[in-house]
Structure 1
């Protein structure tokens, strides 16, 4: 039990306040195996790091740095040219379909784009973190036809 991740350890401590020690440890183990306890996010390197965190339904990829950079660029443009940005925003709101998509793509590209370039080594590490965080692929139980 000493090698539990910090989230499992915290869950166990919280449970100890309510239930006996053996029960708390068992409940923490069951919740962890079921993927119901979030692990600390793993973070890759780069100008806009991606965080990877296991969730109850799979994996969450955090792009906070990239989104923050896009917002900072947008806010800087608003501060520099409020009327021009208001006109751009109105044009975007009035458009629909492919025209709206094209205007949104242009706005995003003007502020650095939404893509994250990842080198080969870091791509493999990121893929490994995602697979590790996702956990094993659940396979449905198959009926044993010979037992019937």
Structure 2
């Protein structure tokens, strides 16, 4: 779990140090703006913006029951962040598996991507799709007409 927080923690630390230096040198307004920028970047790269992850086995069981896609992701992944942000509120309807927390999820990502842990990998009806377009993923949430 601490692995997911290393980058956000480092960003907060660096932002704090830089902001402190600016505040001491007489630029408190610039220091506050810089700190807020670093905090925003750290927040985006933290596990906080993603729905609570579940295990791969549980995600596949739930997906079989409700037909919703499974997303294999990891904290700090730019493409995962893009997918999450572009999905908006509909992201909570997916089953999210953090491959850094779940060895079965990491194994599923490797099985779908020729041995690489490439994410995001979205599994729809048992078929993996690596780094799909967020609009396509949103369509998979809609019931067939």
TM value normalised by structure 1: 0.28
Larger Rg computed on CA atoms: 1
